[in-house]
Chains A and B, each alone.
Chain A
């Protein structure tokens, strides 16, 4: 069966019941930073259906290796060595090639390298905390890093973020622009987190949790975690009779 994108149809609207709402009072900062008027719904047009495109030439050789990209020569970041990989597709299942993924994270002790960071855990002199990678023709990506630590944050009296990696993702269109966070399977902090708790549906939370992937784990080197990403897709048109057999 074949779906054909309708060039005039634009991008399918975001399912706002699937995403976290702007206002989620247990995440206190959202209270004053959430619009009170409803969003104005409009179909996408050229400016939303196009976007910046990035190339391999723009990236450095070490951009996808957070273990080494800030480290002194011959040294490496401290922490459990991991590979994070997965595939970027759109909602219609098509791979998104040449998608730029930017990632950032705390070090193994849960400390960020940032001017506004105050957690008492120490910085790792060999860990910067940022990396980026482009998906290949089939939408696959992979980067190396260390497993970040959980960290406390000022929200409730005793809130801790589960270990996570922040992702910024560019598809082909500005309408697809997305920032999210990847979590790790089995982390007991996941159900306690007010930021994750903003996501209404369990299945949506589940889709942010990377799974341990022993098939891609490199023996005596690094464990692998798989995290697939779905970006908005274009509206599809198809004939009713083609739906059979799905």
Chain B
């Protein structure tokens, strides 16, 4: 017989608060000299495989106001669809690409930016290939538990149309909230809306 069997309760989440940068991006808020560089600020450590891309965007609240105090983290496969982590058993990921990035929105404008690579396709649980995508995690003051979403690419129409996650979304009119728009050569725009009209789909995964 199979059953779920957790024996302890997960530590409850609490908001990251307005001063999250002190702990996660200290150099952004003028704390220099403790950590050499902010963790996750650079995802590439050398020449990487695949297409280098830049993703920019904002996170807006239910009134349409841009959050200036939000921090985003992303986790993704490399250009060949491999994760740079010891748990990756399908091959060896690009050693010059970490796959993990963290960015604080600009404290004045609320714009965030990731310099990364276009991920390859990764299999879903049943072996079907997912469309290229990036896992996104959002924390800020007022967010009691970090929000998970996914970023897909608008120039991957065919892969998106057969993606195991996108195709099982009941409210298909919301799927575009997960799709970054290509704005130029290697540049994409991905705006996130926490609430209300065009609210981004968030996952419990």
Decide yes or no whether A76 CB sits under 8 A from chain B: no
B30 touches A104 (CB 8 A): no
At the interface, yes or no: A44 with Cβ under 8 Å from chain B? yes
A92 → B minimal CB distance (Å)? 6
Q: Is the CB of A179 within 8 A of B16?
A: yes
Of the candidates A3, A91, A104, A198, the one whose C-beta lies within 8 Å of that of B22 is: A104
Contacts of B1 in A (CB 8 A): 239-240
Q: A179-B16, A233-B6 are in contact. Are A36 and B87 (CB under 8 A)?
A: no
Instruction: Assess the A50–B61 pair: CB atoms within 8 A.
Output: no
- Tell me if B's interface is mostly helix, strand, loop or mixed: loop
Taken residue by residue from 173 to 205, chain B's Cβ proximity to chain A (1 for < 8 Å, 0 otherwise) reads as 010000000000000000000111001111111
A217 within 8 A of B: no
Interface residue ranges of B6-31 to A (CB < 8 Å): 6-24, 26, 29-31
**Interface flag for A85 (CB, 8 Å):** no
Across the interface, do A102 and B75 meet the contact criterion of CB distance under 8 Å? no
**A221, CB-defined interface residue at 8 Å:** no
Indicate whether B46 reaches chain A with its CB closer than 8 angstroms. no
Query: What residues on A are CB-neighbors of B40 within 8 Å?
Result: 52
- Cβ contact within 8 Å between B13 and A180: yes
B29 touches A114 (CB 8 A): yes
Closest to A44 in B: B205
Taken together as a complex, chains A and B put the C-alpha atoms of A8 and B174 apart, in Å, by: 29
| Contact partners of A117 in chain B: CB under 8 A | 19
Chain A residues whose CB sits within 8 angstroms of the CB of B205 once the complex forms: 41-45, 48, 175
Stretch at the interface among B48-56, B109-117, B137-145, B154-162: B137-145
**B116-151 toward A: CB 8 Å interface, digit per residue (1/0)?**
000000111100001001010101111111111000
Q: What class of interface size applies to chain B in its complex with A?
A: 35 or more
CB of B153 within 8 Å of the partner chain:
no
Q: Quick one: given A91-B7, A166-B23, are A52 and B204 in contact (CB under 8 Å)?
A: no
Contact indicator A50/B88 (Cβ below 8 Å): yes
Please give, as numbers and ranges, the residues of chain A lying within 8 Å of B139 by CB-CB distance. Answer: 179
Cβ proximity bits A90-103 to B, threshold 8 Å, 1 near / 0 not: 11110000000011
Task: Verify B83–A39 contact, CB threshold 8 A.
Answer: no
B85 and chain A: residue at smallest CB distance: A50
Question: Is there contact, CB below 8 Å, between A50 and B145?
Answer: no
- The chain B residue with its CB closest to the CB of A33 is B142
| A residues in contact with B2, CB < 8 Å | 6, 237
Question: Is A92 touching B201 in the complex (CB atoms < 8 A)?
Answer: no
Q: Look across to chain A and name the residue whose beta carbon is closest to the beta carbon of B194.
A: A33
A238 sits at the interface (CB 8 A): yes
A39–B201 Cα distance when bound, in Å, is: 7
Query: Contact at B144–A39, with CB atoms within 8 Å?
Result: no
Which 7 residue pairs of A and B lie closest in terms of their CB atoms, listed nearest first? Answer: A104-B23, A29-B142, A52-B100, A33-B142, A91-B6, A236-B5, A39-B204
B interface, CB within 8 angstroms of A: 1-24, 26, 29-31, 33-36, 39-40, 61-63, 65, 67, 69, 73, 75-77, 83-88, 98-100, 107, 122-125, 130, 133, 135, 137, 139-148, 165, 168-169, 174, 194-196, 199-205
Known: A34-B142, A42-B165, A236-B6. 12 other contacts (CB 8 A): A19-B12, A27-B15, A37-B174, A40-B203, A45-B205, A54-B39, A92-B6, A116-B18, A128-B26, A181-B15, A207-B9, A240-B1
6 A–B contacts from the bound complex (CB under 8 Å): A37-B199, A52-B40, A60-B36, A92-B8, A130-B31, A166-B16
